[in-house]
Structure 1
Amino acid sequence: MRVQIQRMEEDDAKITYQETAGLAIISLSRPHSRNALTSNMWTQLSEIGAKILDNPKNKVAILRGTGEQFTAGSDIKEFHQMSVEEAEASFLLMERAISTFERLPIPTIGVINGPAMGAGLELALACDIRIGSNKTRMGIPVGRLGITLNNKFAQRLVSLIGPSRTKDLVFTGRLYDADDCKSLGLINYLIQEERLDRYAIRMGRLVASQSPASLKAIKRSVANCVNSVEELWQEETPFVDAHDFPEGVASFVEKRTPNFQRRL
């Protein structure tokens, strides 16, 4: 088994990468910030995802968060130190990391023990199979932050839960609990927390035992079916609003209600 730990400059942040018996296991850890990812961590995650195929023995990738979190998404406090342009660039880093795992030709399994929020939810949805526990929570409460979901972010949700529920998640900022996630297909399996990691390893080994040609073909065919919808959308939406985003982030950091100004 090969273990590689990428430590970030930010406090207790690290990303651990392991290879064992055909499984590439990536663990996100930043416990004092609910595993929220900084821009540097998103960049590192992209680089790790791109290297998975360097080892031809890797047949399945498993993405997990340490502790009782998957990831709270991006570090909102970091945004408070950025200009709108810098924040937009940071979102592009997120999308690059998420798409890297989404486009892997080998199967990916997300282990969701706890909240998967915002970009963390998108990262979870980029996985082919998601395994959750009773502590799983999923949501994308961006409405109070002035974050404007682009087409790709929205499409991942629409493909699973439909247009109305996708809009409802953003309109209301609601969170789905574990049972909701299971019934809506946001997670495929709901497992007791103490069995979650062992179950994910067994699932990974089961998937890895299947025909590589079959696995690659179904990933390609499903992607072609889903991505055909994108042809309907020609104009790409930015990730942040120049007016609402600074106010939303400031209110989050200052722990107050945002004061969004109405604009026609």
Structure 2
Amino acid sequence: MEFKNLLIETVDNVATLTVNRPRSLNSLNSEVLGELECALYGLNLNADVRAVVLTGAGERAFVAGADIKEMSAMNALEAHAFARKGQQVMLLMERMKKPVIAAVNGYALGGGLELALACDFIYAATTARLGFPEATLGIMPGFGGTQNLARLIGPNRASEMIFTGRMLDADKACAWGIVNEVFPPEELLVKARETAQAIAQVAPLGVSSAKDAIANGLNMGKEDGFRYEAALFGVLFATEDQREGMEAFVEKRQAVFKGK
């Protein structure tokens, strides 16, 4: 499928998904959200894709936020529907079987930071700036930002970011636990793809089950999370990949995983 606002490139089981609206700093409007939804569904179903790197076109922005021009004309009902659409896309990415790495190459503000937070983890360029400026516009985050950020770094720091609208540089975002690692801009995509490639080489069912356990376990009590983990662990012992992985270890050879 051809997209107007997205680029998808797949090499060695790693898909790079690029939001491609550099003239508007890759901002998210209704059209882009619709395309992202379609693209994520397709990548999730594509057996040739085992990991995804999400980034933005150009050097200035990952995604600079939701499209303010579009939002400024919305009434309350339209704004609610827009927020729910954005949340639907974020939840889709969180629930994908494939890990998604955000490669934040510039501004990740508002909806852009929400998009990055919906990924499994974030790498950032030294030039990245992350924040929620919504309060300076008379609104608040609406694509899951209040929920995901507070769960990631705690309510105190999340509140400071959201209430003030201040941006964090990449190093501070890393120190606060929002970003995993910071790289020079020219190395960012290379490093993100290297990590995605490392993920693509291990058992995809093991990875998807671990992603499931982490995401759902956060919404459970600890003992329920343990039981859920044990159930997924047991199911994996009925897979071809488990047999292949353990036989390869015993035979001292490289395992070949098929996702079965």
Pairwise same-fold verdict (TM > 0.5) = yes
Aligned partner letter, 2:47 = P
Alpha-carbon distance in 2 for matches of 1:207, 1:55: 16
Aligned to 2:103, the other structure's residue is in SS state strand
What is residue 10 of structure 2 aligned with on the other side? Answer: 19
**Cα distance change, pair 23–151 in 1 and its aligned pair in 2 (3 A):** closer
Alpha-carbon distance in 2 for matches of 1:103, 1:196: 25
Check conservation: 2:114, 2:143, Cα contact below 8 A: no
Q: Is it true that 1:133 corresponds to 2:125 in the alignment? A: yes
**Cα distance change, pair 137–201 in 1 and its aligned pair in 2 (3 A):** same
Match among 20, 27, 34 for residue 36 of structure 1: 27
What is residue 185 of structure 1 aligned with on the other side? Answer: 177
TM-score, with length taken from structure 2: 0.80
**Cα distance change, pair 151–164 in 1 and its aligned pair in 2 (3 A):** farther
Q: Is it true that 1:6 corresponds to 2:3 in the alignment? A: yes
Alpha-carbon distance in 2 for matches of 1:18, 1:137: 26
Once the two structures are TM-superposed, the CA of residue 22 in structure 1 deviates from its matched residue by 0.7
Match among 193, 197, 202 for residue 205 of structure 1: 197
TM-score, with length taken from structure 1: 0.79
Alpha-carbon distance in 1 for matches of 2:94, 2:84: 15
Alpha-carbon distance in 1 for matches of 2:163, 2:103: 27
What is residue 71 of structure 1 aligned with on the other side? Answer: 63
Aligned partner letter, 2:174 = K
Once the two structures are TM-superposed, the CA of residue 188 in structure 1 deviates from its matched residue by 0.7
Aligned partner letter, 1:40 = E
**Cα distance change, pair 151–37 in 1 and its aligned pair in 2 (3 A):** closer
Q: What's the Cα RMSD here?
A: 1.7
Q: Is it true that 1:169 corresponds to 2:161 in the alignment? A: yes
What is residue 38 of structure 2 aligned with on the other side? Answer: 47
Match among 47, 53, 62 for residue 56 of structure 1: 47
What is residue 154 of structure 1 aligned with on the other side? Answer: 146
Once the two structures are TM-superposed, the CA of residue 149 in structure 1 deviates from its matched residue by 4.2
Q: Deviations over 1:144-186 (max 9, x none)?
A: 2232446943221012211111111122111110111111121
| Percent identity for Structure 1 against Structure 2 | 33
**Cα distance change, pair 41–150 in 1 and its aligned pair in 2 (3 A):** closer
Check conservation: 1:160, 1:184, Cα contact below 8 A: no
| Larger deviation, residues 208-217 vs 148-157 | 148-157
Check conservation: 2:64, 2:112, Cα contact below 8 A: yes
Which one has more relative contact order, counting CA pairs under 8 Å at least 6 apart?
1
Q: Is it true that 1:116 corresponds to 2:114 in the alignment? A: no
Q: Deviations over 1:17-58 (max 9, x none)?
A: 222211122100211211111111111101110111232111
Aligned to 1:227, the other structure's residue is in SS state coil
Unaligned runs of 5+ in 1: 8-13, 230-264
Aligned to 2:166, the other structure's residue is in SS state coil
Alpha-carbon distance in 1 for matches of 2:203, 2:143: 33
Aligned partner letter, 2:62 = F
What is residue 217 of structure 1 aligned with on the other side? Answer: 209
Runs of 4+ in structure 1 off by over 6 angstroms are none
Check conservation: 2:110, 2:141, Cα contact below 8 A: no
Once the two structures are TM-superposed, the CA of residue 59 in structure 1 deviates from its matched residue by 0.4
Aligned partner letter, 1:43 = G
**Cα distance change, pair 84–6 in 1 and its aligned pair in 2 (3 A):** same
Q: Deviations over 1:128-154 (max 9, x none)?
A: 121111111111121122324469432
Unaligned runs of 5+ in 2: 222-260
Alpha-carbon distance in 2 for matches of 1:55, 1:171: 40
Alpha-carbon distance in 2 for matches of 1:154, 1:101: 17
